Amino acid sequence: MSLTEITTRLTKAAQDAGRDPASVTLIAVSKMQPDDNVRAVLEQGHRVFGENRVQEAAGKWPGFREDFGDIDLHIIGPLQTNKARQAMELAQAIHSVDRPKLATTLARLADEIGSCPDLFIQVNTGEEPQKAGILPADTDAFVKEVRDLGLPLKGLMCIPPVEETPSLHFALLGKMAARNGLTGLSMGMSGDFEQAIALGATHVRVGSAIFGARS
């Protein structure tokens, strides 16, 4: 597949849902992709990328920014507090705010740095023990906590369990965002981004369908 094909499918999914395609941001997830693949997508003009690991992102994006100018970088993987400053200095958005300690650290650093990326709270909608994210039952309280810290909270993010129907999780995330007055919905990956768009996704995170299988 390719960037053009995914963009076409995204546009159609939005139109089918009666939505403006411009209301959906395509995050090209470049983790573990060879630099040549990433460069090819940059050369096609795409400027919004997602990375799982801060260290990997710090290794490749300063160089790409020198060559291609401004790039909107989203950190979408689990974030350790000792990597928070680096993440904040590198990225325009963090999708994986998943615990009070991380929120407190981000707030302290935001004061020091004087700015903060857009934040999404990761919700463990499938309540999977091995997965990061705040539990659905704790989400409303955590939203309040993050807001009370003065942080720029944009929305919620989820990764549905692989063996379950993703739409149920997308619908649940949409409901939780709506009742908290949050407009951002980071949901949908290569296999299910069209369903996510039908259920209101504002940010889809698509890796392998754009770049090919990861090495």
> Judged by CB, which is closer to ligand PLP: 146, or 206?
206
Tally Cβ neighbours within 10 Å of residue 118.
Answer: 18
C-beta of 178: minimal distance to ligand PLP in Å?
Answer: 22
Tokens of 62: 């300063």
Report how far apart, in Å, the C-alpha atoms of 34 and of each of 24, 27, 37, 39, 50 are: 26, 17, 6, 9, 14
* Closest separation in Å from C-beta 21 to ligand PLP: 19
Q: Which residue's Cβ has the minimum distance to ligand PLP?
A: 207
Largest CA distance in the chain: 45
Residue carrying the six token digits 């004061």: 111
- Residue 92 CB, nearest approach to ligand PLP (Å): 16
**Residue (172 or 204) nearer to ligand PLP, CB:** 204
Which of 117, 207 has the CB closer to ligand PLP?
A: 207
Residue 20 CB, nearest distance to ligand PLP (Å)? 23
Question: Which parts of this chain interact with ligand PLP (CB under 6 A)?
Answer: 29, 31, 52, 76-77, 159, 189-190, 205-209
Distance CA 144, CA 132 (A): 19
Judge whether 156 and 172 are in contact, CB under 8 Å. no
Instruction: Give 104 or 190: the residue with its C-beta nearer to ligand PLP.
Output: 190
